[in-house]
Amino acid sequence: MTTQSNRQDLGFINSYDSSLPAGLKNKRAERLWDWAADRYAAKPVADEAAYARKLAITREYLHPEANLLELGCGTGSTALAHAHYVKHIKAVDVSSRMIEIAISKAADAGIDNIEFLHKDVDHLQLPDEYFDFVLMLNLLHLLADWRLHITMAFNTLKPGGVFVSSTMCLSDGYTFTRLPLAAGWLVGLIPLMSFFTRDDLENVLVNAGFDLEYESAPARKTAVFLVARKPW
């Protein structure tokens, strides 16, 4: 059961979440993203310059012997962009159709060091201190228990490992959208969204044990791009 304090932290929309079993929530998310996958794959990147900057900043940390985990990989564009800079990538998404598209794109590009996995991140069993990098891009605000997943990322990283996220902090300027988003989620038109601030995100990362190394939000109402490191 979601507590009153958690409802306040996550926002109005997530008060509906407590009434649904986990399996139903996950199936709803999968159906939604399966339905959107082909249009998502065909849609151009909204801000190509910003995306290129995020790729470049991430690559400053990558190395050829690295094992990288990407959660919420979508159709695999970011995993494919980083594949030549690391040893191996495990890329996970809740949508089977997204994963099908990603596998096809990797085959077309001749890239064979990515393992694409169709699975809900809530059900992943990750080894402790295994990965060198964890990416969660445009994912945390779509998770009800986003704090737990930050802790999960910390635990699966090796000492010195790097966590990279790009996150919409919806409590910073988007609070007026809570009611329509809640209505859209209830009828299955949009995914569940968690409301928290940039300060909330930073605090959870630090409390999990991370050291923040880079942070950028070029404009108000844009995703906060963060790089954090697990101490050696």
Residue 1: per-residue pLDDT: 32
* Cβ proximity of 124 and 197 under 8 Å: no
SS3 of residue 128 by DSSP:
coil
Residue range 76-91: average pLDDT?
98
Structure tokens at 112: 């064979």
Selection from 178, 166, 182 nearest residue 215 by Cα:
166
Give how far Cα 94 sits from Cα of 46, 71, 132, 218, Å: 22, 9, 22, 29
* Cβ proximity of 64 and 86 under 8 Å: yes
pLDDT digits (tens, 9 = 90+) for 115-148: 999 999 888 999 999 999 999 999 999 898 899 9
Residue range 5-27: average pLDDT?
45
Selection from 131, 134, 166 nearest residue 53 by Cα:
166
Residue 218: per-residue pLDDT: 66
Residue 21: per-residue pLDDT: 47
pLDDT digits (tens, 9 = 90+) for 156-214: 999 999 999 999 998 887 665 665 665 555 556 666 778 899 999 999 999 999 999 99
Q: What share of the chain has pLDDT > 70, as a percent?
A: 79
Residue 14 pLDDT exceeds 70: no
Residue 109 pLDDT exceeds 80: yes
DSSP 149: H
| Protein fold of 4-229 | Rossmann fold (3.40.50)
Q: Give the start-to-end residue ranges of the domains of the chain.
A: 4-229
